Structure 1
Amino acid sequence: MLKYLLIFPATLLLASAAIVAAGLDDQIAPADMIVVPGNTVAPDGTPSPRLQARLDVALQQFRNRQAPRIFVSGGTGKEGFDEAAAMAGYLKRQGVPAAAIIEDNQGRTTEATARNAAIYLQAHGLTTAMVATQYFHVPRFRLALERAGVTVSAQVHAPYGELRDLYSTPREAIGYAVYYLKK
């Protein structure tokens, strides 16, 4: 009986380790656009440190000319701010031309962001995307984009960690399994 009680935690631990390994494995290659999913906006309307880290890693790849545009996606969070607008504002303040930023304020979930990015790419005759998010979110976000018909040519993780990652990583392992099994 004890061995059956240990199966779930052991499986979750192994899956979490796989999520971490895959998410930390940055793969740099050209893409038609960098896709950055939203996250918390601070009470003053600026990106939270976690979200800023996502934007900074995307900005680095944009400046390295790995992609000519950045797709920022999010909804209006409990803070009352449009995440995509806050993200676009941050990028503009960092010198990214407005014409290189695509705002999607309907990306309330990973799946919605992936679907909206796919629609944008298809409408503009583009096919490839680079993922820029937290390491634990990279695998599920890649899967969502690929399921939406996007070729993910590259991935980068935001170099930002916090205590809540101890919860977020196993949650993403479960989330990945749910996405994988869902058609």
Structure 2
Amino acid sequence: MRKITVLGLSAAGMFLLSTAALVLAGLHDKLAPADVIVVPGNTILPDGTPSPRLQARLDVALKQFQEHRAPRILVSGATGKEGFDEAASMARYLQSRGVPASAIVEDNQGWTTDDTARNAATLMHQHGWRTAMVATQYFHVPRFRLALARAGIAVSGNVHAPYFELRDLYSVPRETVGYAVYYARP
């Protein structure tokens, strides 16, 4: 019984340490020039506009664009249960804030983090772009960086959306498991 308790406590401790490392890595922005800023999609509101969480991602990407860290923004998403094309909604949001349409690349097949990474890699290779900056929630930064790297993209930097909500209590441990699964698979 004692060995089981020690094993359980050790596993819980490792999980907590891994979760803390993931959070700290995601909160540590790395500002660097890139060919493109990649923003993964998220919920679209019933009126067709990005949710506050997604707006935060777009706003942090917009700031990097305005500070000339990258000349373009790739928005990726799919048509969610709300019935809206996330990428198109994201593009409209950025355009309404002054980003020229010519500086926005839309990927409307970004159903998952892996899909977004693969699609971004394809688009980047087609255009001869080599480096990407990640703009997403702090807890998603490490896994998204890993997915892009595995897709052959050099991730030069990352920024996290300064948006925190109660849902993070679920999302953070879920990402710890998600990162481990992404890391372990070939």
CA deviations on 1:70-121 (whole Å, 9 max, x unpaired) are 0000011111111101100100100100000000000000000000111111
Amino acid at match of 1:74: G
3-state secondary structure, aligned to 2:49: coil
1:98 aligns with 2:101: yes
In 1: Cα distance, 2:101 partner to 2:58 partner: 15
Say which of 169, 173, 183 aligns to 1:170.
Answer: 173
Amino acid at match of 1:55: L
Q: How does 1:59-70 map to 2 (within 5 A)?
A: 59-70=62-73
3-state secondary structure, aligned to 2:43: coil
In structure 1, stretches of 5+ residues that fail to align are none
1:86 aligns with 2:75: no
Structure 1 residue 12: Cα displacement: 1.5
- What value does the CA root-mean-square deviation take over the aligned residues? 0.7
Runs (4+) off by over 4 Å: none
Match of 2:7 in 1: 4
Match of 1:13 in 2: 16
Structure 1 residue 168: Cα displacement: 0.6
Amino acid at match of 1:148: A
In 1: Cα distance, 2:184 partner to 2:122 partner: 23
In 2: Cα distance, 1:141 partner to 1:168 partner: 14
In 2: Cα distance, 1:72 partner to 1:64 partner: 18
Say which of 43, 48, 57 aligns to 1:45.
Answer: 48
Say which of 116, 120, 132 aligns to 2:119.
Answer: 116
Amino acid at match of 2:170: Y
In 2: Cα distance, 1:19 partner to 1:170 partner: 9
Structure 1 residue 8: Cα displacement: 2.7
Say which of 39, 61, 67 aligns to 1:36.
Answer: 39
What number of residue pairs does the alignment pair up?
183
Match of 1:182 in 2: 185
Match of 1:150 in 2: 153
In 2: Cα distance, 1:9 partner to 1:78 partner: 35
Q: Percent same amino acid at aligned positions?
A: 69
In 1: Cα distance, 2:31 partner to 2:94 partner: 20
In 2: Cα distance, 1:105 partner to 1:122 partner: 18
In 2: Cα distance, 1:25 partner to 1:5 partner: 30
In 2: Cα distance, 1:179 partner to 1:53 partner: 25
